[in-house]
Amino acid sequence: MSSVFDTQKTIREILVKILDHHSLEQLNKIPDGFKNNLIWNIGHCIASQQILVYKLSGLPLQVSDELIAKYSKGTKPEADVSQEEVNEVKNLLTQTILQTEKDYNDNVFKNYNQYTTSMGFDLKNVQDALDFVSYHEGIHTGIIMSIKKFI
């Protein structure tokens, strides 16, 4: 199981570097031809992981309802984010994956409400969810790399 967490930690480290090496203006810019920006994609990774792993397991989320509402599937950037919010997202990138790994190792995930993603992946248990999260965050990292070329 450590490989899925190793993968997710590596992705999250890449996302932290994106936050560290781009200005607030760059993080908020939506280039022509795109629906969202760097910070939305990063926040979306956090929100999706929390929903797919914790909510579908019937467990409390580690993030605010506001973060979920702002970055969940089907949302888009409505306004520029502040540096304070960027700092919060940066902290959550590391904090949430470390807590998830701890919770997994502590056998916190007992139940799971089966869910089929919009891409057609059938998530039957938390292991399926964790595997899908790696795939999903990889996709959004690719989108982030594309956006970077236009900011």
**Digit-coded pLDDT (tens) for 5-61:** 999 999 999 999 999 999 999 999 999 999 999 999 999 999 999 999 999 999 999
How many Cα atoms are found within 13 Å in the side-chain-facing hemisphere of 51? 17
pLDDT of residue 1: 57
The torsion angle over the Cα atoms of residues 82, 29, 66 and 111, rounded to 10 degrees, is: -130
Length of the chain in terms of residues written: 151
Partners of residue 116 on adjacent β-strands: 122
The CA distance from 89 to 50, in Å, is 13
Q: What is the pLDDT of residue 71?
A: 98
pLDDT grade for 2, boundaries at 50, 70 and 90: confident
Mean per-residue pLDDT for 72-93? 98
**Domain map of the chain by residue range?**
2-148
Name beta bridge partners: 115: 123
- Whole-model pTM? 0.96
pLDDT band at 4 (very low <50, low <70, confident <90, very high): very high
Range 2-148 classified under CATH 1.20.120.450: yes
Say what the pLDDT of residue 135 is. 97
Q: Report the percent of the chain where pLDDT is more than 90.
A: 99
